[in-house]
Amino acid sequence: MLDHEVSALSSDASAESRKMTLEELPVQLSDIERAAALLEGVTEKTPVAHSRALSRMIGSEVWVKAENLQRSGSFKVRGAYNRMAQLSEEAKSRGVVAASAGNHAQGVALAARRLGIQATIYMPRGAALPKVAATQDHGAEVVLHGANVDEALAAARIAAEETGKVFVHPFDHADIIAGQGTLGLEVLEQVPNVDTVLTGVGGGGLLAGLAVAMKAREAQGGRPVRVIGVQAENAAAYPPSLAGDALVSLEKVSTIADGIAVGQPGQLPFQIIKELADDVVTVSEDRLAESLIFMLERNKLVVEPAGVVGVAALLDGKLQQTYGDLGTTVVVLSGGNIDPMLMLKVIQRGLAAAGRYMTIKMMLVDRPGELTHISSVISRLDANVTGVDHTRIGGSLAMGDVSITIDMETKGHAHSRQVLEALEAEGYRPVVVH
């Protein structure tokens, strides 16, 4: 068992200023290879699929690593099982406690069931109901606590101290990182000509594990691979932490990508990422929503927002501007556990971001035939009205005025502009709501 603990590091991540060698890092390639042997028959070697659409878009070959098809629906089971399988029999008998918004929870619960360990999982009160139910279905006890993952983590730590159960951190432990790194070994085997790997980043366990696998193999004479992490811009603690060479804690985290909604990097992952990762970039919420729809339509894969951040980075185009030709690229689709209610909202937002769904609001004179005329303008341009709401009552409405809101399906940004210009040409003043 690996005995590297977070406490082995200085509490100040900036204390180590010199460049660490691969041999000095808290996770080694040998640790990842041992984890791979341990996970044999437990986790799936998830497939990689070629994306013709993404390949055409960036001008080089793109493959997606479908970890959304992993057991428990995400990569998290790799690290959870590797950590828990190496506990002593006495520690296993005490049980484990963990905290998660969903994916780590399901990974721990699945590992606990296979290993015969009692598991208690703390989840935020707002955790997606399907993730809560899936965790319970694996036999774990779920305790809903706190408004976010950080509050759930604090409660889980206290519970571990009070009960003597083993705390299984979602990303800040060497065994966890080594388990996640097994995904990197699979990528190297499945796409041996890989040049760039993109993955989402929350606390950093997966990016750290991938970086060790890729860079250590390169040091042994293997192919050089660029390793890039991607964060949601409203939950991006890594860029300022890396820039300042010290852990930065965000005051607020707000993103649809709940799987990477982490306010502060983990100490161990940060130590590795600052030494080995090539970059950490950010993407917007609209780009995340658009990317989820892209994967549904083009690759027929259901991926949660945290799992499509790498796709979002490619759609954004900033990586191509920075690095030019990315070469053969592998994007890790890290999970597929998405609440159907969230999916409904994300799809609507993604369609709006792609210019395929538009809501406009405007003022009209209250007279017969006005709505019919507006409808004819819209239909003439082959846009499809899906909803209309109008009111004559409101503090900002003058006598004889009507406020109207129209939802419509359009065919892209250019088509949306045509509709707006046609309405303006008729004397209306449409305002795009979304």
| Residue among 349, 344, 257, 255 at smallest CA distance from 304 | 257
| Residue among 148, 82, 143 at smallest CA distance from 115 | 82
Beta strands of 158-238 (E only): which ranges? Answer: 166-167, 196-200, 226-232
Give the side-chain half-sphere CA count within 13 A for 400: 2
**Cα distance between residue 28 and residue 178, in whole Å:** 8
CA dist 169 → 6, 15, 19, 174, 293 (Å)? 10, 23, 27, 10, 32
Other beta carbons within 10 angstroms of residue 29's beta carbon come to 21
CA dist 122 → 42, 99, 108 (Å)? 24, 4, 11
**Cα distance between residue 85 and residue 79, in whole Å:** 10
- Contact between residue 422 and residue 380 where contact means Cβ atoms under 8 Å apart: yes
> Angle, to 10 degrees, between the axis of helix 76-85 and the axis of helix 174-190?
130
Enumerate the active-site residues.
76, 334
Angle at 168 between CA 166 and CA 172, to 5 degrees: 130
CA dist 418 → 55, 380, 389, 408, 423 (Å)? 30, 11, 22, 13, 9
Give bridge partners of residue 363 from the DSSP assignment.
403
- Contact between residue 68 and residue 301 where contact means Cβ atoms under 8 Å apart: yes
